[in-house]
Structure 1
Amino acid sequence: MLLAINTSTQQFGLAFINEDGTVSAEYLMPREKGHFGAFMPALDFLLKKLKVSIHDIQAICVAIGPGSFTGLRVGIAAAKGLCHALSIPVIGVSSLEAMASQIPCPELTVTPVIYSRKDEFFLAQFHIEEGRGLIRIMDDAAVRHRDLASAFGRPSVFIGNDFTSQASVIKNSLGTLARLAPAHFWNLKASAVGALGLIRFIAGDFDVLEALEPIYHRPADIR
């Protein structure tokens, strides 16, 4: 059983993934600030509901960014602390790649976007190929809203972490080049982080615990 953690977006989540890829349980927090104190109570809640012990966790998959600076620090620190205490491996997963994997339709170009700051998105592009899964075709980038139109020249399915605020910006900037995923697909799910992590777990491809760090892509805002 794998524990998957996402704290890279405003809605943090936890999920338990079985070795056959099924999801035993998933917990998604409401969208609010300062809610990371609920992390350990949420984990304890899921363990009790599943009637399993924390020692049944075989590995931890954690979203490593890009995304919220505070959230990434909290999630990765929690994952590393638990892995150290339990003597289990850790697997870092790209937030954008995990989000793109939530669009299961083959032969599509998918652009996941995550809030960076008021006028900017973190984004990347992937092509979904039958039998091969996600193929990255664009590296992670930070793009200002005003530059979206010049950054894309072909249609893509967009998925993000805040449909209410992001969808209109994307559609207004790109017009027919932007195909919006249905709203219920949006928001990064911990189970998607776990699904990608499971592939590496089965292959025995783990990260070095001490070396695992967040992917920020830009300096923190100083207020």
Structure 2
Amino acid sequence: MIKAEYVYSLSGKDWTLSCEGGAFPTVPAQVPGNIQADLENARCLKPIYYGVGDERIWEVARHDWRYSKSFEVPAEWAGKRIKLSFDGADYACDVYLDGLPIASHEGQFERFSADITDRVGAGTTHELSVLFHKMPPELEEYIQKSDGAGSGEGTEFFFVWGDEQDPSGAPGSEEHHELQLRLGHEHLDDGAVEGCRAVRLRHGPHRRSARAKRAGRHV
């Protein structure tokens, strides 16, 4: 908790989020918050936490991102020492005040601050921006596998594992099978599949079928 004579919170929905290089459009942002959620709220990404996601989610991490807002220093702060304090930033960032660097930080769970007494005036308006660094290139392979194609959008198969008994009932016929479910985007673009098991299981000459349901309807 910050202990100070006066505290002026800069949290809120009046921030702007921009992608360095322009790969994504500039959108309204909320702090505290995160880049992916702001992009989803602005419909620049498909829903992240249900359905098939968005294969561009990992692409977000390949760019630098800047949070910006204007703020006014209260007039009653004249003659006071003024510090700009952060509860946390994930992961590495540079902080700018009126276009000039005032702090750099690395570490998701560490608080940090900068003394801006000599850089601001009571009753004046200033521009604050926080530039978040993109992920290191050596991590791209792992982020793409976990957040990109193969984990949601673009995934051709969803897998369900289970023990299935051969219909012949022959001794020792119980095996561990991979059940493959192929779903088109028309079944997934408006939400998660519910009660999903398998469409078809092939085992030797035998063939078994099952049904999947989306929002209570068979698909």
Q: How would you bin the TM-score normalised by the shorter chain?
A: under 0.3
Structure 1 or 2: more strand by fraction? 2
TM-score scaled to structure 1, two decimals?
A: 0.27
More relative contact order in 1 or in 2 (CA 8 Å, sep 6+)? Answer: 1
TM-score scaled to structure 2, two decimals?
A: 0.27
